[in-house]
Amino acid sequence: MPLFRKPHLIIKGRSKSYPYTPNPGRDPVIAREDVDRAKHAQKIRTQFNRAVRTFQSQADTDFVYLTIQSPVGFLLNLKALQDSKYNFQLRTLRGLTAKGSSEKAQVQKFKAVAGYGDHEDDDNDIYEDGDLTSDNPVPDDETIYEATVYLNKKAIATFLKKLDQYLNKESKTGKPRHQKLIANIEHIAAATLESFWNEPEQDFPSLNTNVWWEVWLSRSTDDPARPSADTILGDIFDEQNVRVGRRWLVFPESYVVLIKATARTLASTLLFTDRLMELRHPHDLADFFVDLPTREQREWAQDLADRVTHDPDGVAVCLLDTGVTLENPLLKHLIPQKNLDAIEPHWTKADTGKGNGHGTPMAGLALYGDLTELLSSTRSITIYHQLESVKILSPSSKHDPDNYGAITAEAVARGELMHPDAKRMVCMAITQYEYEHYGRPTSWSSAIDQIVFGSHEQPNTKTLFFICAGNLYEEEFTGYPYTNRDRSIHDPAQAFNAITVGAYTLKDQVDAARFPGAEPIAKRGALAASSSTSHKWDPWWAGKPDIVMEGGNHAVQNNNLIVPDSLRPLSTGRGGGNPWLHPFGDTSGATALASRFGAIVTQKYPNLWPETIRGLIIHSADWTKAMLEGKSLRNIGKTELKQLLKEVGYGVPNITQATTSASNSLSLIAERKIKPFKIDGSSIKTDKFHLFTLPWPKEALEELFATEVKLKVTLSYFIEPNPNSKSYQLATSYISHGLRFKMIDRNESTEAFAARVSKAMREKDYQPEGSEQWIIGNKIRSKGSIHKDIWIGTAADLAAKNKIAIYPVGGWWRYRKQLKRYEHSVRYSLIVTIETPDNNVDIYTPVANLIDITT
């Protein structure tokens, strides 16, 4: 076995910026051809004028909300319906069956860049390489797309002008002007309140029922960062039976607040403000707590507590849960009372979870890891991080639905007040089970993305976020693994910037004397029976989970589910009449273990960015033999890889490889800033790509010649979310930007590689010289905001592959010119590891000699 004792090597310099122009892709919006131009123009004009009159007859407004429907099987030209220059604002988008009834997640069943281009004329759109992939199908023949659009006076006049141009003018290609816009409209009507309903799986509330609504309101650059009902909505609800929640979420172009009212009231008030964007159903939290018996004694806990040295070194795990009870000797000397807080001032800060609590065993795993081995040993241990607890849920306190995104942001801020200078691993195992999001963002997941990103003026430098994937109900465990594939990862674990943690298990020992005939459900090293997956998600959202940690196992005896203590990690209980030691696992326990893992890596490398710490955790992960079903990576097909990533992410992280290199296993780390976009005339275009020339053990690899070696590359960055940017609800409209990587081929020149990456680097006589062969591949790995891949080949081939390019792809920063995000740079971390099988080979020293190792 290699000795992992050397620090990873940090690369300074060795990268240059070059102009980046993407290779053009295809336009997903195909204009309908089989229409009579004159008749169609007259029909649309009549419908448009009638819709404008209808809306404005209900209230004295100088704007209108209209619903615009496509023909069956055609896309709307969303570029033209989301154009700030002409005051068109897309507010909602949904898919309908051809018969007009709402279809479950129909709007997610296709891929489109939404017609964003670089030119005003919609016949000359340019689409970026990387925005469109074959993984994403086009609309089927049964779907109608319906958009709700805001138009002010200028936009109303502009639409009529474009209608005239469609009828009377041709573009350079000889087609009618604005054909994609006008020909792909089948019907226009005045919008109703129901037009803003964005819950395809739930019925719109009845007219006179007083219910809570999650209301999304537009935000301009002049609006306050700390909104209130008075400043944003004024007096529209005067003399109405309406309650407005006190917690608001703030995104770049939207506010989110909970409002309790009838649909009839909102239809006569909120509908006639110019801020309404969409309506959703607020989702309360599911019951997920564990209550298992234990016969462990207080003396065991006290013996271990006497062997613990606590030396916190600027790193904290911030637990957002049900509180922590400090009576346990394993906790009370490690967690001072000042480290406890609660989101509501009238709540106790102690753990009020059911049974033996939830926050208290989470705290034990986050500090110690699994107590099973520690309790049976006699060695002393030192813990270098501290624990903070902010109680965000009190199961014993009844409450109205709340804005959990705003609660989470407030809780993280409270943790920061406890230790302002600390690096913070936020650990949250409270999720919402019932809502089927299919991977698309919610206000809660978007709030977490915003917390982790920070802002473009002040990026986050201290915080990582760990969220549990969420559990199945216990009665579903016996359907393993098929029920796991049918149960979606919970909200808000779809957050792009968070580390989402699923569960696997190494625990497979059952006491045959106590449980005769019992068999563990999951094999050793496989997905845990409790862990949910992303099998049902639409393919363009971030892949989850990112990693898996030990979550324990379950067993079946005489067709009944049992949970022997031997199949569970062991943690701290509440004590005081409850057990002091408590078996605790599933994805909650796995998330606590992951946050501890993150704290250890951060303590080892305190000066690295959060993007890098996240990258090191996921970069170190690997799949077990059980996950690979005994196959080698070379023999895993793409379909099997997709399934693997949806179930266990990149596998189980390894703390040794996350923190150290070895002589024959070298890890390089680069942290950089890149400017994705620039303003060019009236358009925003991609700006730069980075070309790395890595310090490389060329001679050592050449000496190994035909020996098989492995290369791992991980690219990690955070995105700024914009959840109200509809654009067919795709990732390209939600994320601020994307980054990708490419690697030089063994016989490819630097000039040809740069030209393969960027069209701007090509000469007229450019001929491609190389390609790439990755285990995962660009189409699968290019989801979310962390991208990892593996290359396996001969050492001689790898010796020539020392150049990597990092380049941008589109996001809403490119399409929201008025927000001027094109002026800003973003951070990313690149991690590259070379692994050789020969322990006697030294690839570390020659690379260390090429760089300033003190950095």
- In the numeric block, the tokens 């689409």 are attached to 127
* 840 found inside a domain: yes
The pLDDT value given to residue 109: 35
Question: Mean pLDDT, to the nearest integer, of 317-340?
Answer: 95
Q: Is there a single domain that holds both residue 512 and residue 634?
A: yes
Mean pLDDT, to the nearest integer, of 787-810?
A: 95
CA distances from 602 to 87, 499, 637, 796 (A): 47, 15, 35, 35
Please report whether residue 89 resides in a domain. Answer: no
Nearest-angstrom CA–CA distance, 689 and 686: 9
Question: pLDDT tens, 234-270?
Answer: 989 987 889 999 899 999 999 999 999 999 999 999 9
Answer yes or no: is 574 within a domain. Answer: yes
Q: CB-based contacts of 740: which residues, under 8 Å, 6+ apart?
A: 130, 715, 778, 782, 787, 806, 807, 808, 809
Segment among 113-117, 465-469, 652-656, 767-771 with least mean pLDDT: 113-117
Rounded CA gap, 585 and 289, in Å? Answer: 11
Do residues 259 and 225 make contact, with C-beta atoms less than 8 angstroms apart? no
Task: From 625, 648, 671, give the residue that closes a domain.
Answer: 648
- Measured distance CA(80)–CA(114) in Å, rounded: 9
Per-residue model confidence (pLDDT) at position 744: 97
- 389: domain CATH number is 3.40.50.200
Mean pLDDT is lowest, of 104-113, 747-756, 768-777, for 104-113
pLDDT of residue 113: 30
Same domain assignment for residues 219 and 329? no
Q: Indicate if 275 and 410 belong to the same structural domain.
A: no
pLDDT of residue 25: 66
Q: What is the pLDDT of residue 725?
A: 58
Which tens digits make up the pLDDT trace of 739-769? 999 999 999 999 999 999 999 999 888 888 8
pLDDT of residue 250: 92
pLDDT for 729 equals 52
Among 105-109, 136-140, 399-403, 682-686, the minimum mean pLDDT is found in 105-109
pLDDT band at 15 (very low <50, low <70, confident <90, very high): very high
> Does 819 map to a domain?
yes
Task: Report yes or no: 816 and 727 within 8 Å, Cβ to Cβ.
Answer: no
In this structure, are 461 and 533 located in the same domain?
yes
Going by C-alpha positions, the residue among 834, 855, 852 that lies closest to residue 843 is 834
- 545 and 424, same structural domain? yes
Q: In the chain, what is the straight-line distance between the N-terminal and C-terminal CA atoms, in Å?
A: 28
Yes or no: say if 548 and 649 are a contact pair by the CB < 8 Å rule.
yes
Ranges 321-335, 433-447, 749-763: which has the least confidence: 433-447
161 CB-near residues (< 8 Å, 6+ apart): none
Answer yes or no: do 677 and 622 share one domain.
Answer: no
By percentage, how much of the chain surpasses pLDDT 90? 69
Identify whether residues 276 and 302 lie together within a single domain.
no
pLDDT digits (tens, 9 = 90+) for 30-55: 899 989 999 999 999 999 999 999 99
Instruction: Give the Cβ contact number of residue 646 at 10 Å.
Output: 21
pTM of the model: 0.90
Higher pLDDT, 3 or 503: 503
Domain match, 737 and 776 both? yes
Tell me whether residue 671 is in a domain: yes
3-class secondary-structure state, position 153: helix
Residue 172 tokens read as 């350079």
The reply to whether 610 and 679 lie within a common domain is no
Helix (H) or strand (E) holding 739: strand 738-743
Residue with tokens 């030294």: 842
pLDDT of residue 569: 94
Residue with tokens 């991977």: 439
| Range from 40-44, 336-340, 730-734, 825-829 carrying the lowest mean pLDDT | 730-734
732 and 590 in a common domain = no
734 within some domain: yes
Residue 271 lies in a domain: yes
Q: Mean pLDDT, to the nearest integer, of 579-583? A: 88
* Mean pLDDT within 776-790: 94
Cα atoms found within 13 Å of the Cα of residue 692, Cβ hemisphere only: 27
Out of 597, 614, 648, pick the residue that ends a domain. Answer: 648
pLDDT of residue 1: 56
Q: What is the mean pLDDT of the chain?
A: 88
466 shares its domain with 577:
yes
What's the pLDDT band for 855 if we cut at 50, 70, 90? very low
Query: pLDDT for 515-562, tens place per residue?
Result: 999 999 999 999 999 999 999 998 888 999 999 999 999 999 999 999
pLDDT at 438: 87
- Does residue 729 sit within a domain? yes
Q: Of residues 28 and 205, which shows the higher confidence score?
A: 205
Cα–Cα separations (whole angstroms), residue 816 to 148, 549, 680, 739:
19, 39, 14, 18
Please state, in angstroms and rounded to a whole number, the distance separating the CA atoms of residues 314 and 309: 16
173 pLDDT tier (thresholds 50, 70, 90): confident
Residue 185 pLDDT more than 60?
yes
Beta strands in 219-329 (DSSP E): 243-251, 254-261, 276-280, 308-310, 315-321
Same-domain status, 683 and 780: yes
Question: What digits encode the pLDDT tens for the residues 687-737?
Answer: 999 999 999 999 999 999 999 999 999 999 999 999 875 655 567 789 999
Q: What total of structural domains would you count in the chain?
A: 3
Domain that holds residue 712: 9-23+660-848
- Considering 620, 648, 676, which residue would you say is the last residue of a domain? 648
What does the pLDDT read at residue 58?
92
Do the beta carbons of residue 254 and residue 723 sit within 8 Å?
Answer: yes
